[in-house]
C-alpha cells in the first residue's frame, strides 16, 4: 500500500546517550502531537539499533539500519548482516544511499545482493537513487536514475518489490542546503513511477517514493503536497527532535 513515510537518517552522528535522548524526545512529541497516518522511521547507527528499537517498542515508530552486508554470515570482519539487524528489532534498512555508493563502493551489483539479503530477512528496504550535479548539468539525470532502478529494483519479483520504498535523493542536494525545486522533484518522482510501472505495472502506483536532500521544516509542506511525493528521507534536520516532528506534521 502507498504509505506516507518520514524517515530520519542519523548517519554517523552522536553517542548512545545522544541516540537515547533524541529517540525519547521524538517518541514523547510524537505521542503528544502526531495524530496522522504517517509512518515514522528512525535510522540510528548500528550500535544504537537495539536501544532505539526497545525505546520505540510500544509506539508506532519503526527503526531502520543504514546499511547491511551483501552476505548472510561468516568471515566478513566489521560487516553487519540483515539477520543481525532484524534481531535488534529493526524493520527497515536504507540501501543505496549516495554516501555508501560514493565512499564504500556500493555498486548496483552489490546493492542487488544487499537488497536480497534484507528482503530474505524480513526487512523493508528504503532504496536510494539520485543523480550527481554533473549528471543533472549534462542532462543525464533521467538516464542515471533509470539505470539505478533497472539494475536493482527491476531485478526483483513483484512480491520482493512490494517490500521496497524508493527515496529520490539528488546527490547535489544532500547536506548542501540546496533543495531540488518542487517542479524538479515532481518531474523526477513521476518519471521514477513510470519506470517502475514498465516492470511492475499498476503495483508501482502503490510504491511510496520519498524525497531526500536538504528537506527541512520550511520546505517539507510544499514538497509533501506534490502528487508523486509520499514523504521524505531526512538527514540533518532529523537530528533535532523539534525540526523532525515539524517535518512529520507537514503532511
* Contact residues for ligand PEP, defined by CB under 6 A: 9, 169, 174-175, 212-215, 233-237
- Give which of 49, 114, 52, 58 is closest to 85, Cα–Cα: 49
CB of 13 to ligand PEP, least distance (A): 11
Q: Which is nearer to ligand PEP, 44 or 213 (CB)?
A: 213
CB of 174 to ligand PEP, least distance (A): 4
What single-letter DSSP state applies at residue 78? T
Instruction: Find the residue with minimal CB distance to ligand PEP.
Output: 235
Q: Which is nearer to ligand PEP, 130 or 200 (CB)?
A: 130
CB of 122 to ligand PEP, least distance (A): 23
Alpha-carbon span 193 to 229, nearest angstrom: 10
Q: Which is nearer to ligand PEP, 30 or 211 (CB)?
A: 211
4: Cβ–Cβ under 8 A, 6 or more apart, which residues? Answer: 36, 37, 38, 39, 208, 224, 230, 231, 251
Alpha-carbon span 242 to 30, nearest angstrom: 10
Q: Which is nearer to ligand PEP, 82 or 215 (CB)?
A: 215
Catalytic residues: 97, 169
CB of 102 to ligand PEP, least distance (A): 12
Hey, what's the torsion of the CAs at 69, 127, 10, 2, to 10 degrees? -130
Q: 107-127 in b/e burial notation, b at 16+ Cβ within 10 A?
A: eeebbbbbbbbbbebebbbbb
Q: Which is nearer to ligand PEP, 120 or 178 (CB)?
A: 178
87: Cβ–Cβ under 8 A, 6 or more apart, which residues? Answer: none
CB of 236 to ligand PEP, least distance (A): 4
- Give which of 98, 118, 101 is closest to 109, Cα–Cα: 101
Mapped onto helix, strand or coil, the DSSP state of residue 23 is helix
Amino acid at each position: 500500500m502507498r504509505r506516507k513515510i518520514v524517515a530520519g537518517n542519523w548517519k554517523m552522528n552522536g553517542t548512545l546517550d545522544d541516540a537515547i535522548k533524541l529517540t525519547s524526545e521524538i517518541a514523547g512529541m510524537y505521542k503528544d502531537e502526531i495524530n496522522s497516518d504517517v509512518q515514522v522511521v528512525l535510522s540510528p547507527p548500528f550500535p544504537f539499533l537495539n536501544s532505539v528499537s526497545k525505546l520505540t517498542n510500544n509506539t508506532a515508530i519503526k527503526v531502520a539500519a543504514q546499511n547491511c552486508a551483501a552476505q548472510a554470515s561468516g568471515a566478513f570482519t566489521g560487516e553487519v548482516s540483515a539477520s543481525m539487524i532484524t534481531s535488534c528489532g529493526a524493520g527497515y534498512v536504507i540501501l543505496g544511499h549516495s554516501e555508501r555508493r560514493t565512499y564504500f563502493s556500493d555498486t548496483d551489483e552489490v546493492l542487488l545482493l544487499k537488497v536480497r539479503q534484507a528482503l530474505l530477512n524480513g526487512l523493508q528496504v528504503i532504496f536510494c537513487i539520485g543523480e550527481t550535479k554533473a549528471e543533472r548539468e549534462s542532462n543525464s539525470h533521467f538516464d542515471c536514475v533509470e539505470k539505478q532502478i533497472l539494475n536493482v529494483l527491476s531485478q526483483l519479483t513483484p512480491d520482493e518489490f512490494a517490500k521496497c520504498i524508493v527515496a529520490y535523493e539528488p546527490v547535489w542536494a544532500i547536506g548542501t542546503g540546496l533543495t531540488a525545486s518542487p517542479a524538479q522533484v515532481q518531474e523526477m518522482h513521476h518519471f521514477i513511477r513510470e519506470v517502475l510501472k514498465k516492470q511492475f505495472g499498476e503495483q508501482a502506483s502503490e510504491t511510496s517514493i520519498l524525497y531526500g536532500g536538504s528537506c527541512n521544516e520550511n520546505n517539507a509542506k510544499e514538497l509533501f503536497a506534490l502528487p508523486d511525493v509520499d514523504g521524505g528521507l531526512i538527514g540533518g534536520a532529523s537530528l533535532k527532535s523539534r525540526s523532525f516532528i515539524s517535518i512529520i506534521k507537514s503532511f
